[in-house]
Amino acid sequence: MTRSSRLILAAVALAMALAYPLPLWHIALQAPQYPEGLGLYIAIDRIEGENPHDLSSINNLNHYIGMKVITPEDIPELRFMPYILAGLIGLGLVAALAGRRWLLATWVVVFAAGSLAGLADFYRWTYDYGHNLDPHAIIKIPGMSYQPPIIGGKQLLNFHASSWPAAGGWILVGAMLVGVALVVREYRARPGAAA
Amino acid sequence: MTRMKSWARTGLAATAIAATVITISCGKASTPAGGAGDAASRVYVPPGQHDEFYAFMSGGFSGQIGVYGLPSGRLLRVIPVFSQDAEKGYGYSEQSKALLMTSYGFIPWDDSHHPSLSKTDALNDGRWIFINGNNTPRIARIDLADMHTHEIIEIPNGSGNHASPFVTQNTEYVVSATRFSVPTPQRDVSISEYKDAFDGQISFVSVDSATGKMSLAFQIHMPGFDYDLARPGKVASHGWAFFTMYNSEQAHTLKERNASQADKDYITAINWKQAEQCVKNGKAKPGPATYAHNWVDDADIARHEMLSGTKVLQPVDCPGMAYFLPTPKSPHGVDVDPTGEYIVGGGKLATVIPVHSFSKMLKAIEDKAFDGELKGIPVLKYEATIAGEVADPGLGPLHTEFDQNGFAYTSMFVSSEITKWRVKDQTVVDKIPTYYSIGHLLVPGGDTRQPDGKYVIALNKITKDRYLPTGPELTQSAQLIDITGDKMQMLLDFPTIGEPHYAQAILASAIKDKQVRIYQLEENKDPFGVKAEKDVKVVRKGNVVHIYMTSIRSHFTPDNIEGVQVGDSVYFHVTNLEQDWDVPHGFAITGARNAELLIMPGQTRTLAWVPERVGVMAFYCTDFCSALHQEMQGYIRVSAKGAGTPISFNAPK
């Protein structure tokens, strides 16, 4: 790897540490009665309301449709995801230090696989919350489910839910794109070369 | 000839009528019903938009404060202050009852007159608003962050607390004075001994600059006149306060006539910094007093204490503290211009508006330009303090407010108009009729050193034909008048709660963003509060039953309660678990003799209930909270006295 590629990779790997304090995803809810909106931030190790009481308000509203209470403590992924991210950052730094482009490529592949698995898991949880409803729910509409989108907007009864990456998520997306660019750069510059 | 004349006369009359009709219809086209032609657009606040000002209007005999938006005139809230309010449970719930305690016991009403916004450096600082109770002398403090009453202090040794509260320039004090002089201390004397046995009292109540808490600082013993209104000095005259008085005749019967004989009564000037000094130097003597002090503690529960004793200053013991400024004639309002130099008396029976000069007053004191003295208080020479008189202002001048451009606006009760005049040369520049019989008036920030101007609002006593009639009891009203141009322009009439006396307005931007939306449940310190449904309980102690319950959309926990007996004292302690903006819950139970509760998110309120009949009684939420509001109900079983039904209730594990 070139010196500049190694420096960029190291910088990108370190920048990924910002995904600890910054949330990965944002789900915004808008309804006529909530002109100020409600929102959830999903971070690497926690789920929190956009405003102090949003999570409890959302849970309280969800009881009408029989959705399970969102309890961050009950989501095991929030406990081990920080280690996966630490591993990704570590692998990126090792690749930068070693300067081996195969390590870089491995990093990108692992990163992409991990991200896809994360999104799939996110989908699984939202599917569960949206479909696995209390049969004694107060409001039951045949055929209606309440899974929020992973990306984009969707009308769920009186609420419009929209879901997009948040700052930490965008940093990871950016890191992955830079990683892909570095792979292209390294392999295009010296195709087949050993290092 | 005669016939000719008759014909001619008829012709002339017809022409005159036609001319009048044309004039009227022309007039209507340009200024409909006394308002500016484009008035609607100038007071129109589109749906979803906010007004520019909050106006706080006294509720008069309702005892409350009405909160209005300006310029729309929309009523936003009624703040319960001195009167019980069944709608909100104010004065009924166990947590709020103590606010209405006095030395006479529980007094569920009063007559509130003069809202006064707290000030820093003679500007509205948006922290609190104070208001007087006229009948059972009291001063209340309302916090502008949650617009709830937080404190009420009784003023001892007074009667008719009208010249109140009128805060000083940095909210050092709120003031109080006696409108109905009485024997002090109270004793059994003949009313005919008025001149010798009756006293007035001017009181200074200090305000803690951090918490707002009020305490009686000192009282000044005054001759037995009728002290009517007050206004502390500011900027140039900071450190002084001015009080009008009538009945220098010291009449005790048919005051309407007998207190209206003298050509001049007085404005009393009190140098309160000098008074402070005298108190410090031990010139004040302890006097008898018993009075109530009530405040809301940090658990949001009203507390009541009885205090005794007061510090009384005699004017003879504190030279330089009090002076009388002769003022025509039975003056009502006294108002100080933004610079603090001009002191305007509203001589309600006078034909002019007298304007005293503060600097001339100081000079007159220095020169001892006295015209004798009254009970040890020097009377200054009228010519020595007067800056000028506003000639031909109209009839019955009462109150004056100011704008930022050097103009004053005085309400004319008898001629029912507002007179605009230039302060520096006391010249009338404009007049506008009001409908009808204006009392107070308000300019936003009009008592500060930097008024916000834009509008003057007339606060009228009588409406007669202005609105759709509603039987013999008609609304009072406010009228919004534009003062941005040379000519005042009537824009809007709107009805008010009770009778508005004084009112004050503040830029919405000063307090809008600090409005409390919810009370933090985790900070709920009510000893009967419950923070989660699993913690609810029902506890019997003798014949007292405490029900610790919760409300959240759309159910109470518990909602089935058994084991209560006829004659028990049952307390429903309801905590609203919501932490969401604008989701109060109500609580009402069949046969409640007191009121309902209205519980804000995160708050605990308690309703006392004594079941009188065997049976199953329903309770429910009175505030439409959600789609399942109608389902928000429960039952309590009432057994006969001595029945063995055990206490039971339902709750999640």
What is the reported pLDDT for B36?
A: 75
- Residue A195 to residue B20: CA distance in whole angstroms: 105
Q: Which of B93, B151, B84 is nearest to B605 (CA)?
A: B93
Q: Which residue has the tokens 């991990």?
A: A114
Do residues B172 and B314 share a domain? yes
The Cα–Cα gap between B311 and B220 comes to: 8
Residue A52 with chain B: CB contacts under 8 Å: 579
Q: Do A60 and B553 touch (CB under 8 A)?
A: yes
pLDDT digits (tens, 9 = 90+) for B583-638: 999 999 999 999 999 999 999 999 999 999 999 999 999 999 998 999 999 999 99
Is B205 found in the same domain as B126? yes
Query: Structurally, how many domains does chain A consist of?
Result: 1
pLDDT at A193: 57
DSSP output for B545-593: EEEEEEEETTEEES-EEEEEETT-EEEEEEEE---STT--EEEEETT-S
Q: Tell me, what's the pLDDT at B21? A: 40
Whether residue A61 is contained in a domain is answered as yes
Residues of chain B with pLDDT under 70: 1-34
Closest CB from A57, A138, A139 relative to B580: A57
**B416 & B332 share domain:** yes
Q: Of the residues B467, B497, B514, which one is the last residue of a structural domain?
A: B514
pLDDT for res B34: 60
Looking at the structure, tell me whether residues B372 and B410 fall in a common domain: yes
DSSP string, B195-218: HHHEEEEEEEEEE-TTT--EEEEE
| Among B491, B514, B537, residue at a domain's last position | B514
Q: How far is CA B239 from the centre of its chain?
A: 24
CATH number of the structural domain spanning residue B570: 2.60.40.420
Q: What is the pLDDT of residue B19?
A: 42
Rounded CA gap, B115 and B500, in Å?
Answer: 10
Backbone angles phi and psi of A132, in degrees to 5: -90, 80
Residues B355 and B471 in one domain: yes
A36 interaction partners in chain B (CB closer than 8 Å): 581
B581 touches chain A (CB under 8 A): yes
- Contact in structure between B479 and B40 (CB atoms under 8 Å): no
- Shared-domain flag, residues B622 and B508: no
DSSP string covering B592-648, please? -SS--EEE-TT-EEEEEE---SSEEEEEE--S--STTGGG-EEEEEEEPTT--PPPE
In a domain, B432, yes or no: yes
DSSP per residue, B507-533: EGGGTGGG------GGG---TT--SSG
Is B628 in CB contact (< 8 Å) with chain A? yes
Structure tokens, B307: 């205090």
**Given an 8 Å threshold on Cβ–Cβ distance, is B579 in contact with A64?**
no
At A89, which amino acid appears? Answer: I
In total, the C-beta contacts within 8 angstroms joining chain A to chain B are 16
Q: List pLDDT tens digits, range B288-300.
A: 999 999 999 999 9
Predicted confidence (pLDDT) per residue in B437-459, tens digit: 999 999 999 999 999 999 999 99
Distance CA B277, CA B283 (A): 9
Residues in chain B: 653
Q: Do the Cβ atoms of A138 and B628 come within 8 Å?
A: yes
User: Rg of chain B over CA atoms, in angstroms?
Assistant: 28
DSSP string, B107-165: -----B---EEEEETTEEEEEEEEEEETTTTEEEEEETTTTEEEEEEE-TT-S-B-S--
Residue B77: count of CB within 10 angstroms of its CB: 13
Tokens of B9: 């006369």
Of B75, B41, B42, B35, residue with least CA distance to B59: B75
> Is-contact B439 B413, C-beta < 8 A?
yes
Residue B177 and residue B67 in one domain: yes
Domain shared by B219 and B81, yes or no: yes
B467 in a domain, yes or no?
Answer: yes
Q: What is the DSSP string of chain A?
A: --HHHHHHHHHHHHHGGGGTTS-SEEEEEEETTEEEEEEEEE-SS-EEESSTTHHHHHHHHHTTTTPPP--GGG-THHHHHHHHHHHHHHHHHHHHHHT-HHHHHHHHHHHHHHHHHHHHHHHHHHHHHHHS--TT-SS--TT---PPPSSEEEEETTEEEEEEE-HHHHHHHHHHHHHHHHHHHHHHHSTT---
| Interface check A32 vs B, CB under 8 A | no
Q: What's the rounded mean pLDDT across residues A43-48?
A: 96
Q: What pTM does this model have?
A: 0.91
Q: Two tokens at A160? A: 């419009």
Q: Which amino acid is at B389?
A: E
Q: Is any Cβ of chain B less than 8 angstroms from the Cβ of A64?
A: yes
Residue B629 sits at the chain A interface (C-beta within 8 Å)? no
Domain that holds residue A135: 3-189
Residue B45 belongs to a domain: no
Asked if residue B185 has a cis previous peptide bond (ω within 30° of 0), the answer is: yes
Q: Parallel, antiparallel, or unpaired for β B569-576 and B597-599? A: unpaired
| Dist CA B319 CA B312 (whole Å) | 14
Burial class (CB in 10 A: 0-12, 13-18, 19+), A142: exposed
Cβ atoms within 10 Å of B525's Cβ, excluding its own: 11
Task: Report how many domains make up chain B.
Answer: 2
CA neighbours closer than 13 Å in the CB half-sphere of residue B210 = 0
Mean pLDDT of all residues belonging to chain A: 94
Same domain, B476 and B528: no
Taking an 8 Å cut-off on Cβ atoms, the answer to whether B578 and A60 are in contact is yes
> Domain of A37: which CATH number?
1.20.140
Give the integer Cα–Cα distance in Å for B173 and A178. Answer: 66
In a domain, A194, yes or no: no
Whether residue A65 contacts residue A131, with contact meaning beta carbons closer than 8 Å, is answered with: no
Q: Using an 8 Å CB-CB cutoff, list chain A residues near B628.
A: 64, 138
* CATH at B178: 2.130.10.10
Q: Is residue B138 part of a domain?
A: yes
Q: Residue B269 belongs to what H/E stretch?
A: strand B265-271
* Tokens, residue B164: 């109140």
Task: Inform me whether the C-beta atom of residue B522 falls under 8 Å from chain A C-beta atoms.
Answer: no
Minimal Cα–Cα distance from A72 to chain B, Å? 18
Give the pLDDT of residue B460: 96
Q: Is B376 found in the same domain as B351? A: yes
- B235 vs B121: CA distance, rounded Å: 8
Task: For residue B176, tell me if it sits in a domain.
Answer: yes
Distance, in Å, from the CA atom of B127 to the CA atom of B445, rounded to the nearest integer, reads 14
Q: How far is CA B233 from CA B38, B117, B120, in A?
A: 39, 15, 13
Which of B479, B514, B549 represents a domain boundary (last residue)? B514
* Same domain membership, residue B506 and residue B541: no
Whether residue B152 lies inside any domain: the answer is: yes
Neighbours of B443 (CB within 10 A): 26
Q: Is residue B14 situated within a structural domain?
A: no
Please indicate whether, in this complex, the C-beta atoms of A57 and B579 are within 8 angstroms of each other.
Answer: yes
Largest CA distance in chain A: 66
Q: What is the pLDDT of residue B12?
A: 45
Are the CB atoms for B151 and B135 separated by under 8 Å?
Answer: no
Residue A190 scores a pLDDT above 90:
no
Kindly determine whether residue B518 and residue A53, on different chains, have CB atoms separated by under 8 Å. yes
Looking at the fold, whether B482 and B532 belong to one and the same domain comes out as no
Contacts of B268 (CB under 8 A, 6+ apart): B202, B222, B227, B242, B243, B244, B245, B322, B323, B324, B325, B377
Tell me: the pLDDT tens digits for A55-67?
999 999 999 999 9
Rg for chain A, CA atoms, rounded = 20
Segment B330-373, tens digit of pLDDT: 999 999 999 999 999 998 888 999 999 999 999 999 999 999 99
| Confidence (pLDDT) at B18 | 43
Which of A56, A65, A71 is most worth mutating to test chain B (most B CB atoms within 10 A of its CB)? A56
- Select the residue from B581, B583, B585, B600 to test the A interface by mutation, using most A Cβ atoms within 10 A: B581
CB within 8 A of A92, min separation 6: which ones?
A9, A10, A12, A13, A16, A107, A111, A179
What tokens does B303 get? 């507390």
What is the extent of the structural domain holding B325?
53-514
